[in-house]
Amino acid sequence: MAISSIVLDIEGTVCPISFVKDTLFPYFLDKLESLPQSSNSNIRELLAKFGKEDVVAHIKALVAQDVKDPILKDLQGYVWEEGYRTGEIKAPVYADAIKFIKETKKTVYIYSSGSVKAQKLLFQYVDDGEGGVIDLCPDIAGNFDINTSGRKSETTSYKRIAESINENPGHVLFLSDSILELRAAAAAGFQCKLVVRPGNPVQEQTVRFEEVLNFAGLH
């Protein structure tokens, strides 16, 4: 079937998988000490119930275990927003991914376990390699996360996305570095390809997916 829409994963697909672990998570943890000054309603509610030390310890534990907690994702997006706005953080999106997102004639969507807010910030502040930033948000038709669509390892999540964009699943291509996610998307009827980038963990393929090393080969 002809492809009319593209759904992109983020980590390990359009930017290095190390970006979250080595840049975003450390930045978030470093800013936790300023929680009492936060205007975020979720943070204020947690502080009122449990106190700063307990809240900080709990959040650090969730980050260490990479728990996909919706409230945690919301808090991270709030903190990262300041980092992007001040220029402390820029997203290292691969050059071939930038070119593809800007030039493809197909409709591009993003699906990540990170919150929609965090996704939009990442694509709004893309490192242009020359000290500035590129805003890719105008080139992205929509964003999906675990709150809007469900977990990425579940087939129903991809069915929800197809319904949301009013698209035949067979006309949608999903690109990800995760075999587990590709299997779930394929079961929903999506076309799927495995993205292989430097630093990505080796994926054991019992069901073979075509590998993508560079977006330049995509049409």
Mean pLDDT of 176-195: 96
C-alpha dihedral (126, 128, 129, 130), degrees to nearest 10: -130
Amino acid at 138: P
189, 170 Cβ separation under 8 angstroms: yes
Q: Predicted confidence band at 37 (pLDDT cuts at 50, 70, 90)? A: low
Q: Predicted confidence band at 218 (pLDDT cuts at 50, 70, 90)? A: confident
Of the candidates 61, 164, 40, the residue with the CA atom closest to the CA atom of residue 107: 164
Q: Answer yes or no: is pLDDT of 32 > 80.
A: no
Q: What pLDDT digit, counting tens, does each position of 119-155 carry?
A: 999 999 999 999 999 999 999 999 999 989 999 999 9
d(CA 69, CA 77): 12
10, 119 Cβ separation under 8 angstroms: yes
Correct CATH for 20-86 of 3.40.50.300, 1.10.10.1800, 1.10.720.60, 3.20.20.140: 1.10.720.60
Contacts 24+ apart (CB under 8 A), 65-68: 68/113, 68/146, 68/151
Listed in sequence order, the residues at least 6 apart from 4 whose beta carbon sits closer than 8 Å to its beta carbon are 106, 107, 167, 171, 172
Q: pLDDT: is 76 or 71 the higher one?
A: 76
Provide the residue ranges of all domains of the chain, joining segments of one domain with +.
5-17+90-217, 20-86
Same fold flag, 5-17+90-217 and 20-86: no
Quote the mean pLDDT of the chain: 88
Q: pLDDT: is 135 or 67 the higher one?
A: 135
Strands (E), 13-111: 107-111
Listed in sequence order, the residues at least 6 apart from 104 whose beta carbon sits closer than 8 Å to its beta carbon are 6, 218
Q: pLDDT: is 204 or 112 the higher one?
A: 112
Third-level CATH fold of 5-17+90-217: Rossmann fold (3.40.50)
Query: For the whole model, what pTM was predicted?
Result: 0.85
What residues are paired with 142 via a beta bridge? 109
